[in-house]
Amino acid sequence: MTRNLSSLSFISSDTDSAQEAARHLASLYGQTDPNEADVIVALGGDGFMLQTLHDTMASGKLIYGMNQGSVGFLLNEYREEGLRERIAAAVEHHIRPLEMVATDAEGNSISAYAINEVSLLRQSYQAAKLKVLVDGRVRLEELICDGLMVATPAGSTAYNLSAHGPILPLEAPLLALTPVSPFRPRRWRGALLPNRVTVEIEVLEGDKRPVNAVADHTEVKSVGSVMIRETNKVTARILSDPDHSWDDRILAEQFLY
């Protein structure tokens, strides 16, 4: 795929190493305002990359990340040489985030997008008690747990994996519904859902067992219900080196031991 690479914009997290890398790369390749650039090069860790994708998901901008953090799962290896050639050869992925609509205790509706996952988490010492519906049909009348999440393929190796959820190939038309420390039903370990479904989660005994809802960086406290579905309103565009693509990274995670 041929890309217009006449202008790059280098942005960074607030760490010294990331900011120094951005200054140096800008001196080598030039610096364009992010709103005008053909490609935005994000320098930082996974958290900064995730925030960059959120900030640009409605703009159509291409994002190429290079690791200046710790794990760097979402990012490419940091190298200064041949950057334009690397970007030109990169594999492009389109990520459709989840849309969360949470209703709080006062009846207010709060909407937010999630690239990784939408999670409901207990707010107090008592376990959450939840009812789970898929496309309007009750699938679990009562789930007692520390939390419950809906994860995208892109987010399946993040919190979802830590909660023993399945790893999903990036292009899989699936969502992972994964409990956190389920108590009843004790043997339920989650479900794989088609990405076209709508998941509704109702909080039972919310006054006694308050629950927060989180869509990536957006938290809503003391929710009564949450609706989650994949959206077609916005898309994030991310570039990865062909020898270290997201598909390869997700596949490699499945063979770690």
Binned at pLDDT 50, 70 and 90, residue 161 comes out as very high
Output the pLDDT for position 254.
Answer: 74
137-141, Cβ contacts within 8 angstroms, sequence gap of 24 or more: 139/191, 140/185, 140/188
Model confidence at 2, in pLDDT bands (50, 70, 90)? Answer: low
pLDDT digits (tens, 9 = 90+) for 32-44: 999 999 999 999 9
pLDDT band for position 1 (cuts 50, 70, 90): low
The pLDDT assigned to 74 comes to 85
pLDDT tens string 17-26: 999 999 999 9
Which domains, and CATH codes, for the chain? 8-95+235-253 (3.40.50.10330), 98-230 (2.60.200.30)
Tell whether the model's pLDDT for residue 121 goes beyond 80.
yes
**HSE-CB for 114 with a 13 A CA cutoff:** 32
Q: Please list the active-site residues.
A: 46
**Mean of per-residue pLDDT scores for the chain:** 93
Over range 110-129, report the average pLDDT. 96
Q: What is the percentage of the chain residues whose pLDDT exceeds 90?
A: 81
**Is-contact 117 134, C-beta < 8 A?**
no
User: Which residues does residue 31 pair with via DSSP β-bridges, in sequence order?
Assistant: none
Q: Give me the pLDDT at residue 105, please.
A: 85
For residue 247, what pLDDT is reported?
A: 72
Inter-residue contact 225 to 198 (CB < 8 Å): no
Is residue 5 part of an annotated ligand binding site? no
Interval 237-251 mean pLDDT: 81
Q: What is the pLDDT of residues 204-229, one digit of tens each?
A: 999 999 999 999 999 999 999 999 99
257 has binding-site annotation: no
Is 46 marked as a binding-site residue?
A: yes
pLDDT band at 69 (very low <50, low <70, confident <90, very high): confident
47 annotated ligand-binding residue: yes
For residue 163, what are its two tokens? 């909660």
Check whether 157 is labelled as a binding-site residue.
yes
Contact 87, 239 (CB under 8 A): yes
According to the annotation, is 152 in a ligand binding site? no
Angle in degrees, CA 133, 136, 138, rounded to 5: 40
Mean pLDDT, rounded, for 154-168: 92
The pLDDT score that the predictor gives to residue 170 is 82
Nearest CA to 123 among 147, 156, 99, 90? 147
What gap in Å lies between CA 112 and CA 214, rounded to an integer?
A: 9
pLDDT of residue 108 exceeding 70, the answer is: yes
One-letter amino acid of 24 = H
| Dihedral angle computed from the Cα positions of residues 144, 147, 148 and 149, in that order, rounded to the nearest 10 degrees | 180
pLDDT on residue 252: 75
The pLDDT, as a whole number, for residue 187 is 86
* Residue 135 marked in a binding site: no
Residue 229 is predicted with a pLDDT of 98
